[in-house]
Amino acid sequence: MKITEVRIKLMEEPGERLKAFCSITFDDAFVVRDLKIIEGASGPFVAMPSRKLTSHCPYCGCKNHLRASFCNQCGKRLREAIAAKDEDGRAKLYADIAHPINSSCREMIQNRVIEAFEEEKTQAMQPGYVSSYDDFDEETTAAPSSTVEATQIQPAEKPQGPHTAPAARQPQRAEQTQQSKHSGSGGFGEGIFD
């Protein structure tokens, strides 16, 4: 297994510990997103993507974060949840979504990501710099034009009276649309009150 691509998004807030977000691709086939590069006491390190741990409200069963004082759903006061402790005795409030199982894999990821982070910082100083992480977002969210056309939402029909047939109204709408295209200056909002 090899890391075939690393994309970095630098954070612009100076003085913050969070320096960048990162995505890594394994073997050109599997992507892990939202790794964080954090400035630690001995230099930057990589934090795996994680989620906040939750507990259920005893009254309504809704999920709430472990440190919540009141339920998000019913608003009742929550008793303090007993969070699991880590090796240092601190409350464990987050759980990793994806993480390496052994230290050699962790070191491989850490070394490759920190190397890419340093390269990205150098490129960011060049004029016209654009983050490759932004390109990744556009690639994954772009849809083919035929799909977009097929899924466009059509406006809902207005409620009609008992004596009005829907088929009789549709040609009239088409006529109005054609008239508004060909008449006037074609400015914004033209034909709304016709």
Question: What DSSP assignment string belongs to 24-58?
Answer: EEETTTEEEEEEEEEEETTEEEEE--EEE-EEE-T
- What is the CA angle 36-17-104, rounded to 5? 45
Contact 53, 92 (CB under 8 A): yes
How do the pLDDT tens digits run along the chain, 194 residues long?
A: 899 999 999 988 877 899 999 999 999 999 999 999 999 999 999 999 988 888 888 889 888 887 788 888 898 888 775 666 667 777 777 888 888 999 999 999 999 999 999 999 998 888 888 887 765 555 554 444 433 444 444 444 444 544 544 444 444 444 444 444 444 455 555 556 65
What pLDDT, on the 0 to 100 scale, is given for residue 131?
A: 81
Angle at 165 (CA atoms; ends 160, 171), nearest 5 degrees: 105
Tokens 């004082």 belong to 69
What integer pLDDT is reported at residue 148 of this predicted model? 40
Going along the chain from its start, the domains and CATH numbers come out as 1-49+97-141 (3.30.1120.40), 52-96 (no CATH)
CA dihedral 23, 36, 47, 57 (to 10 degrees): -100
Q: What is the pLDDT of residue 77?
A: 87
What is the reported pLDDT for 188? 57
Look at residue 30 in the predicted model and tell me its pLDDT. 93
pLDDT computed for residue 181 by the predictor: 46
Burial of 123 (0-12, 13-18, 19+ CB in 10 A): middle
pTM, to two decimals = 0.56
